[in-house]
Structure 1
Amino acid sequence: MSVVKKGNENLPWIEKYRPENLDEVYGQSNVVTTVRRFMQEGRLPHMLFYGPPGTGKTSTVIALAKEIYGPKYYKNMILELNASDDRGIDVVRNQIKDFASTRQIFSKQQQFKLIILDEADAMTNAAQNALRRVIEKYTKNTRFCILANYAHKLTPALLSRCTRFRFQPLPQSAIATRLETVLIKEHLSLTDRAKTAILKISNGDMRKALNVLQACSSIASFHEDQSNGDQVTSSKEITEDMIYDCVGAPKPAHLEYCLNSILNDDRITSFYTIEKLKRESGLALLDLINGIVEILDDHELSESTRSSILIKLSEIEYAMSKGGNDKIQTSAMIGVIKSSF
């Protein structure tokens, strides 16, 4: 269990509860086991961590660096750059090359330094080609860890010089375990429905789950102050409604209400029912479509019917992305679902 250091109270929770060692990295056991074996055998390669956002790529490499160097040498032995900002060839030629070409003479336990390039898939091709040469030249005293959301955006020459580690979307059990730790430390409680909602909304993204939880904590604190004045309770409760209101997603009851109206009412009544709900709850049509698709996944439909619905709804999404009229596309969504049942 991670320990929250003094002075970290005002940090975003994604930084406040970032893993301090590899044992605290949840949901990526295969990656952690392999990386730790490389570290213990003293043959750490250049690494590429790639996968969806919020799956622990940055947390894993920082936890690894802390285990390798310890608190005394950690900050001196790593260079961390966000390649989406520092993405040009000058950064490779100056910052990276200068750091890679020097050694720390007082660090005896490890001979190599570590360069962490976050969001490297945003680097220009020229910068990636220059980086390839730097990696080759300074392998003796420097290791590179390249982090990317999409490996196919990196040049083949750069990919061939790294050992690849694929980060999968985190399982709900891993996110739930981390949330339990945070809830205890922040004196919060989640209702069962709220827990289900936050795990569903996060969709395998630990960063999103913690950000939503922190935002809901502020809402819960406000409600507590409004109802209790200066009285402080031992634990603040977060409800399902708080979570859906926080992220602006349609609540399950709203989605069921819309779908029932489409299936049971005439087209005009369904249209005005959905328009009223969108207006009063501040919902977007695309959110309603995505939510209804998830509900339809639980319905027994033939493969041809399911495919037809998804294809036609995707066309509506495409029309919306190109600036299509919201009311026209709402009518189109009603027609697609009605004609399919």
Structure 2
Amino acid sequence: RPLAGDFKIIFLDEADALTPEAQNAMRRTMENYTRTCRFILSCNYSSKIIEPIQSRCAVFRFRKIPRDAIRKRLEYILNSEGIEFTEQGISAILYVTEGDMRRSVNMVQSAAALGDVTEENVYGIAAIARPEEIQNIMAFAINNKFLDARNMLDNLMLNYGMSGEDILLQMNREVMNLNVDDNFKVRIIDLIGECNFCLVEGANERVQLEALLARIMAISGR
């Protein structure tokens, strides 16, 4: 029973990380204590919350925080802490975190531990490639420079420690910035989707990524 008031409030963060079995057990707890407890569940993917729980909740969806608002807050934190930073470093954090304020603050803390918040430190910590590096890989393949594209791919996987899925996600994100027509972009996205499916099914990521570059080169017709 609550110590004061009519009911307790129980907040569960990252509730979508619970297994279906754990969620079913929690559902029974929610049903047994509806008179004395209110549950607040936060999650990244509402589809991972089982339907019986969703039907008992009011769902509120939150948009990503605007980049300008995150930039302003990060600059306030850095100036308050007396940490040196560059505009490119802040932009790199915004690119990596994609509107997630908590990740942005954590990234600032990690980068500051290495010294200044610079673009190099941010990408090194995040273990992802710069946008232009991903664009260059695809551009090399489009321009019939397979070996150059393959060498850049090797560099990302060895120096950044990126997985095949991480590289595909960045490719999918950067394909719209390529200097090619929309129909060709659509075909590349389709190839990326097929490659991702193969990786999910357990295929060798190195073989699949090289095959993806070869297929991009083949459809370019250059």
State the TM-score bracket (shorter-chain normalisation): 0.7 to 0.9
TM-score scaled to structure 2, two decimals?
Answer: 0.79
3-state secondary structure, aligned to 2:177: coil
Larger radius of gyration: 1
For 1:172 and 1:190, how far apart are their aligned partners in 2? 17
- Report the equivalent of 1:131: 30
Q: Which gives a bigger RCO, structure 1 or 2 (Cα 8 Å, sep 6+)?
A: 1
1:321 aligns with 2:216: no
TM-score scaled to structure 1, two decimals?
Answer: 0.55
Quote the offset at 1:280 in angstroms: 4.3
1:183 aligns with 2:83: no
Letter in 2 for 1:182: I
Q: Cα deviation per residue 1:59-102 (whole Å; 9 max; x = unaligned)?
A: xxxxxxxxxxxxxxxxxxxxxxxxxxxxxxxxxxxxxxxxxx24
Q: 1:192 to 1:120 in 2, by over 3 A?
A: closer
Decide which moves more: 204-213 or 286-295.
Answer: 286-295
The answer to whether the 8 A contact 2:111-2:125 is kept is yes
1:211 aligns with 2:90: no
Quote the offset at 1:331 in angstroms: 2.2
Q: Which runs of 5+ in 1 are unaligned?
A: 1-100, 105-109, 221-236
- Report the equivalent of 2:140: 261
Q: 1:111 to 1:177 in 2, by over 3 A?
A: farther
Q: Which runs of 5+ in 2 are unaligned?
A: none
The alignment-based identity, stated in percent, is: 25
Q: 1:293 to 1:112 in 2, by over 3 A?
A: closer
Where does 1:89-238 land on structure 2 (aligned, <5 Å)?
101-104=1-4, 112-121=7-16, 122=18, 123-135=22-34, 137-138=35-36, 142-154=37-49, 158-220=53-115, 237-238=116-117
For 1:283 and 1:146, how far apart are their aligned partners in 2? 32
Higher fraction of helix: 2
The answer to whether the 8 A contact 2:89-2:119 is kept is yes
3-state secondary structure, aligned to 2:84: strand
For 1:253 and 1:154, how far apart are their aligned partners in 2? 37
For 1:215 and 1:240, how far apart are their aligned partners in 2? 13
The answer to whether the 8 A contact 1:248-1:282 is kept is yes
For 2:159 and 2:15, how far apart are their aligned partners in 1? 42
Higher fraction of strand: 1
Q: 1:147 to 1:132 in 2, by over 3 A?
A: farther
Letter in 1 for 2:26: A
The answer to whether the 8 A contact 2:134-2:170 is kept is yes
For 1:242 and 1:318, how far apart are their aligned partners in 2? 32
Letter in 2 for 1:200: Y
- Report the equivalent of 1:295: 174
